[in-house]
């Protein structure tokens, strides 16, 4: 089996399973809206839900429009990724990994949208404390699927620069 297909067969399911297991534990063990510091002032495990996309994008849109939109975008993205994966040269090592991470992320967040109508976010990274520095830089909460997609985007950027 070619490397690109092994990536898809291994990485995407691993991302999906890790994403779902971590979300399951957060939903089962933490009340919605709660926060547990892991590295005080920098990293918390939280339990938030997000009906929108990254950073809450489109969360204010009615569910009757938002839900079909996310389903359509996910299906189109999966089709494009699979077609692109088939056409990738066998020697390519970065793109199959990146695309497999995206597929796992799409399925991880997609199954949440189908089952719950929202995505569970539980990782919160922030720098600083208002009491200490007068500022608080906080990244929106995210999950394993979001992380996989972000790593994939970084790999795609690296791959683009390497080809130039």
- Work out the number of other CB atoms within 10 angstroms of the CB of residue 67: 15
As a whole number of angstroms, the distance between CA 144 and CA 141 comes to 11
Give residue 21's Cα distance to chain centre: 14
pLDDT of the residue at 74: 94
pLDDT of the residue at 161: 86
The torsion angles phi and psi of 142, rounded to 5 degrees, stand at -145, -175
Q: Count CA atoms closer than 13 A to 163's CA, side-chain side.
A: 10
In this prediction, residues 28-56 reach a mean pLDDT of 90
Residues annotated as catalytic (active site), given as ranges: 121, 146
User: What is the share, in percent, of the chain residues with pLDDT greater than 70?
Assistant: 91
Give residue 72's Cα distance to chain centre: 17
Counting the structural domains of the chain, the total is: 1
In this prediction, residues 121-130 reach a mean pLDDT of 82
Instruction: Check if the beta carbon of residue 144 is closer than 8 Å to that of residue 19.
Output: yes
Name the residue range of residue 68's domain: 3-163
């Amino acid at each position: 089996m070619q490397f690109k297909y092994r990536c898809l067969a291994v990485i995407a399911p691993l991302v999906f399973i890790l994403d779902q297991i971590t979300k399951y534990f957060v939903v089962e063990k933490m009340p919605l809206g709660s926060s547990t510091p892991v590295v005080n002032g920098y990293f918390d495990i939280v339990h938030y839900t997000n009906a929108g996309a990254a950073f809450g994008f489109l969360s204010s849109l009615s569910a009757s429009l938002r839900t079909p939109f996310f389903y359509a975008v996910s299906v189109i993205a999966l089709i494009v990724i699979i077609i692109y994966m088939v056409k990738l040269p066998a020697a390519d090592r970065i793109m199959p990994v990146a695309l497999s991470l995206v597929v796992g992320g799409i399925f991880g967040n997609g199954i949440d949208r189908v089952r719950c109508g929202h995505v569970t976010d539980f990782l919160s990274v922030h720098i600083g404390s208002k009491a200490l520095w007068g500022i608080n830089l906080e990244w929106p909460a995210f999950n394993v699927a979001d992380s996989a997609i972000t790593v994939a985007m970084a790999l795609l950027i690296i791959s683009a620069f390497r080809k130039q």
